[in-house]
A and B are shown apart, each in its own frame.
Chain A
Amino acid sequence: MNDFGSEDRLRFEQLVLPHVDNAYNLARWLLRSRADAEDVAQEALLRACRFFRSFHGGDARAWLLQIVRNTCYSWLEKNRPMELSVEFDEELHLQTGPTPETIAIAGDDRERLTRALETLPPRFREVLILRELEGCSYKEIAAITSIPIGTVMSSLSRARRQLYSALANSSQGACP
C-alpha cells in the first residue's frame, strides 16, 4: 500500500469501509467460522485496497463483496477443498417430514437455521445470504457471484428448497 496516497485512502475509507460489516457477514457464512471470516475479510480488504485504483465508481458494496467472495473461495480451495466438491445430496435430504413451521415452534430457531444453512454447499449458501441477509437484487447477486442473471433465480429456488429439507432433516435428528 506504499503508493496509496492520502487522497486514495480517504476515498477508500468513505466508499469501502462502510461495507466492512457486509464483507464480514458474507465471509462468516461462506466459511462457517468467525475466526476464519475475520482473517479472510481482512485479506479481502487488503486486496480491495491494493486494487482500489481499478474501481471506477459504481456500487462499492457489490465490488467489495465480489472480492470477499473470491477471496473466500480461494481460501476454501486451499484449506478445505472438499467443501467445494461436495454437492448437496437432494435424494437424501428431500424426505418428507414435519414442515419447517412446526419445527420453528420449539427450540432455538437461530441455532437451527444456522446449522441448516451451513449444510448447504457454498454456492447455494451464498445466494441465500446475499438475498435474504444482504437484500441484494438479482442483478447485484449476478455481479457478485459471476453467475448469469438467469441462473440466479434457479439457484435461489434450489437453495431455498435445500434449506427446507435441511431444516426438516435437522428436526429428525439426522444432523449432529
Chain B
Amino acid sequence: MRCDFADSLLQGYFDGELSGRMAAEFERHLQHCVDCAVELVDLDLLSGRLQVAQLYEAAPASLRKKIRADLHPVASATAMSQPLLWHWLAAAAALLLLAIAGWRVSPSLRTDDYQAELAEEIVDAHVHSLQPGHLTSISSNDEKDVKGWFNGKLTFALPVLDFANDGFALQGGRLDVVEERSIAVLVYAGPEHLVNVFMWPTRERDASPRVGSRQGYQWIDWRKGKIEFCVVSDAPTADLQQLQRLFTR
C-alpha cells in the first residue's frame, strides 16, 4: 500500500530538493504515515547499496587516447600551440628522466619494470595536471566535500586528509587514468609548491618509501594498508618527506 505522497514529495524530500516549507509539510505528514517512513529508509538503503557497489565507471585510457588524437590531428602537428608543445616536451623529458632515475637511483625499480612504467606515467599525469584547469575536478579544502566527490568513483576507501596546520593545505581532488586504472589524486598547496598525491588500490604488502628525484620533479612512492601512494612535486624532497610522514603517522 503506497501513499499518494510517495511518488512526489517523498523523492524530493529524500533527495534534499524540497523547499523549506514543503519539507516541513512533508515532515508533518511523516509523523503519521508509516508507509512513507518505511519507504524513506528503503530509499536510503538502495542509495547506499548503489554507492557501495562502485558502479561508476571511469573512461578507459583508450578513449582518452582517441579523444586526444581527435583534438590533435597529425596533420596539424607542426601548428602545435606553444603550451601544448611545452607540455609534450615536459612530459617527454619527465618520462626519459624517470626512466633514467628508475635505472640508476633505485635498483628495486630496475627489477620491477611495471612499477617504473607506472611511476613515469604518474609524473606525466603530474605535468599534465599543471596545465590550467586540469588540477582539480573538485576544488575544496573541506575533507568531507572532497571525500563526497569521490563517492562511487573508487573501489577503495580513500583517506582524504587536510594538513593545513602542518603546511599542506588540501586544495581538492580529481581522478586520473594511468595505465588503464583509475587513480585518485589529492592536491595540496605545500609551503611553496603544489603537490599531487596519487593513490590507488594494490594487493602488495606494505612497502617503505622510495625516493626518486631528477631535474625538478621529486617523487616518493610507498604502500600502506593495500593502498599505493605516490607524491609528486617540484618541491624539495624534504617537503615531500614531511607530507609522506603526515600520511603514514
Q: Is the interface of A mostly helix, strand, loop or mixed?
A: helix
Assess the B46–A157 pair: CB atoms within 8 A: no
Q: How far is the CA of A25 from the CA of B175 in the complex (A)?
A: 13
Assess the B59–A21 pair: CB atoms within 8 A: yes
A-B contact pairs, 8 of them (CB 8 A): A6-B79, A13-B131, A18-B137, A113-B55, A135-B152, A154-B7, A154-B11, A156-B11
Q: How far is the CA of A104 from the CA of B46 in the complex (A)?
A: 10
Question: What would 6 more interface pairs be, CB under 8 Å, given A18-B174, A20-B59?
Answer: A13-B131, A24-B58, A42-B67, A46-B70, A113-B53, A131-B15
B236 contacts the other chain (CB 8 A): no
Assess the B63–A42 pair: CB atoms within 8 A: yes
Q: How far is the CA of A18 from the CA of B53 in the complex (A)?
A: 24
Assess the B57–A113 pair: CB atoms within 8 A: no
**Interface residues of A, Cβ cutoff 8 Å to B:** 1, 6, 9-10, 12-15, 17-18, 20-21, 23-25, 28, 34, 38, 41-42, 45-46, 49, 99-101, 104, 109-110, 113-114, 117, 131-133, 135, 137-138, 153-154, 156-158, 160, 163-164
Proximity string of chain B (130-167) to chain A, C-beta cutoff 8 Å, 1 when within and 0 when not: 01111001000000000000011100000000000000
Using C-beta atoms within 8 Å of the partner chain, give the interface range for chain B: 35 or more
Query: Shortest Cβ distance from A157 into chain B, in angstroms?
Result: 4
| A-chain residues with CB within 8 Å of residue B49 when the two chains form the complex | 100, 104, 109, 113
A24-B63, A104-B49 in contact; A157/B6 too (CB < 8 A)? yes
**Interface residues of B, Cβ cutoff 8 Å to A:** 6-8, 10-12, 15, 17, 42-43, 45-47, 49-60, 62-64, 66-67, 70-71, 73, 79, 81, 83-84, 131-134, 137, 151-153, 174-175, 177
Assess the B8–A153 pair: CB atoms within 8 A: yes
Assess the B57–A17 pair: CB atoms within 8 A: no
Assess the A18–B6 pair: CB atoms within 8 A: no
Task: Say which residue of A114, A135, A137 sits within 8 Å of B55 (CB atoms).
Answer: A114
Assess the B54–A110 pair: CB atoms within 8 A: yes
Q: How far is the CA of A135 from the CA of B50 in the complex (A)?
A: 12
A41-B63, A45-B70 in contact; A24/B57 too (CB < 8 A)? yes
Closest to B176 in A: A21
Closest to A15 in B: B133
| A-chain residues with CB within 8 Å of residue B70 when the two chains form the complex | 1, 42, 45-46, 49
